[in-house]
Amino acid sequence: MSAGSVAAGAVTARPLTRFGHLSPEAREQLFERQPVAMRADASVQAVGAALGAVLYVPATTPRAGERLLSGYWPAVTAMVFCLEDAIADRDLPAAEQQVLELLQRVRDHVERAGSRESVPYLFVRVRDPEHLERLLVQWGGLASELDGVVLPKVGAERAAEFLTIVATAQRGRDRPLWGLPILEGADLAQRETRLDALLHLRAVIAEHRGLVPCLRIGATDLSGLYGLRRPRDFTIYDLAVVRDIIADIVNVLARDADAPPISGAVWEYVREPRVFKPRLRQTPFEDEFGESEGPEIRRRLLSGAIDGLLREALLDRANGLHGKTVIHPLHTLAVDAAYVVSHEEWQSADAIRAAREAGDGVTASPTGERMNEPKPHALWAHRTLARASAFGVLRADHTFLALLEQADGR
């Protein structure tokens, strides 16, 4: 652990904030504007913007809940305990019991701390609407310790069924129970039904917008419908049929300013021999960390298959997605770093906002690097400023690579 990081156990003593592995001194050095405390704003828009990298684990994973609450993974800010495809049918009762014990542990933790402000977002992925209804009864009052439920195999019809149950579960809670639909239904995948299904889904989401901070793309299931699985040296956008599904999802469900953010596909590789050249050039690492330390940091990232993940996360962002499902804690920093706002982006977004409010026309960006048009760039600026609040704005002399120094940690 470098001088710029903090002891894992100390993280829970302060409000939940992105890049919790950094010391206050390192944060001050790197950021022009700090990421805000994640639980400071409980609105559906703020929570949607705050969900970057979300770590999924099987609900039977030993000590996962303990580690999450203790700050063992200081960069992990949101976690999903899966009771669905990650759990064999025969293990489901034991997995459900572990979730129940986790919820009790969370309640005890919050009572001792006197606040929930330091607790990472906690979600459980259920199997189907009937499963969710049964679990809500089984959890009873402990369900209030959950931030939300992840809703799988969602197409147009199932979304309505799931979200009706979530809406009913709001009664008697003193804070929201969020519903996070995973878009992976066959009706969304198959071309002949996709547009009608997406338009129907759009109407369902609009009806329940206050319950849905984000939508999640289930690329593993979507790929599986066609017998596909992306190789380690490719991104999800190289699978043409899945790329087209993602494009249509964004086209229909992300066009409105108030639309829920849509997260990117899970990256399923941790380590695997490569075929093609690495995608991380050495020069940017030398510029950020120096000629001595830079190549070593780059080598560590390459050994953990982080270069492919970074490329896909940046492609996600360029294609209108926000955040990503991850399966290993070391992936969290890579994804979140890809969403941090550069100083130039922030200046441009703020200038576009001001020009739009003033009724001005086209201008050069503050750094002179590109053209800013207030009308067509207004939605980009709005979303960039929301991302700046959640992920922070780097100082002009730093790139997102500065945040990756600890990305090969726990």
Longest distance between any two alpha carbons in the chain, whole Å: 63
Parallel, antiparallel, or unpaired: how do β-strands 31-33 and 78-82 relate? unpaired
Q: How do residues 102-142 score in pLDDT, each as one tens digit?
A: 999 999 999 999 999 999 999 999 999 999 999 999 999 99
- Domain regions of the chain by residue span: 37-338, 346-383
- At residue 107, the pLDDT reads 96
Q: How do residues 320-343 score in pLDDT, each as one tens digit?
A: 999 999 998 888 988 999 999 999
What 3 state SS string does 220-262 have? HHHHHCCCCCCCCCCCHHHCHHHHHHHHHHHHHHCCCCCCCCE
Q: Rounded to whole angstroms, how far apart are CA atoms 196 and 211?
A: 23
Beta carbons of 129 and 181 less than 8 angstroms apart: no
Q: Could you tell me where the DSSP H helices lie in 213-370? A: 219-224, 240-253, 282-289, 294-303, 306-318, 330-339, 343-358
Q: How do residues 254-286 score in pLDDT, each as one tens digit?
A: 999 899 999 999 988 876 544 444 455 556 555
Q: Rounded to whole angstroms, how far apart are CA atoms 409 and 305?
A: 14
- At residue 152, the pLDDT reads 97
Smallest CA-to-CA distance from 210 within 179, 173, 252 is with 179
Q: Rounded to whole angstroms, how far apart are CA atoms 265 and 220?
A: 8
- Number of H-type helices and E-type strands within the chain: 16, 12
Task: Place 11 in a pLDDT band, splitting at 50, 70 and 90.
Answer: very low
Beta carbons of 184 and 159 less than 8 angstroms apart: no
Report the sign of the C-alpha dihedral through residues 283, 395, 52, 38, in that order.
Answer: positive
Q: How do residues 354-396 score in pLDDT, each as one tens digit?
A: 999 989 899 888 888 889 999 999 999 999 999 999 999 999 9
pLDDT at 64 over 90: yes
pLDDT at 9 over 50: no
Q: Rounded to whole angstroms, how far apart are CA atoms 303 and 305?
A: 6
Which CATH number does 37-338 carry? 3.20.20.60
b or e along 248-285 (b: 16 or more beta carbons within 10 Å of the residue's beta carbon)?
A: bbbebbbeeeebbbbbbbbbbbeeeeeeeeebbeeeeb
Q: How do residues 36-45 score in pLDDT, each as one tens digit?
A: 999 999 999 9
R_g of the chain, CA atoms, integer Å: 21
Q: What is the dihedral of CA 263, 267, 268, 272, to 10 degrees?
A: 180
Tokens of 24: 């206050």
pLDDT at 185 over 70: yes
Smallest CA-to-CA distance from 205 within 158, 269, 274, 271 is with 158
Smallest CA-to-CA distance from 274 within 231, 314, 335 is with 231
C-alpha triplet 327, 54, 13: angle, nearest 5°: 110
Arithmetic mean of pLDDT, 175-195: 96
- The mean-pLDDT minimum among 48-52, 168-172, 211-215 falls in 168-172
Arithmetic mean of pLDDT, 48-57: 96
Q: How do residues 188-246 score in pLDDT, each as one tens digit?
A: 999 999 999 999 999 999 999 999 999 999 999 999 999 999 988 899 999 999 999 99
Q: How do residues 23-38 score in pLDDT, each as one tens digit?
A: 899 899 999 999 999 9
Over the chain, what is the mean pLDDT? Answer: 88
Parallel, antiparallel, or unpaired: how do β-strands 215-217 and 121-125 relate? unpaired
C-alpha triplet 396, 392, 215: angle, nearest 5°: 135
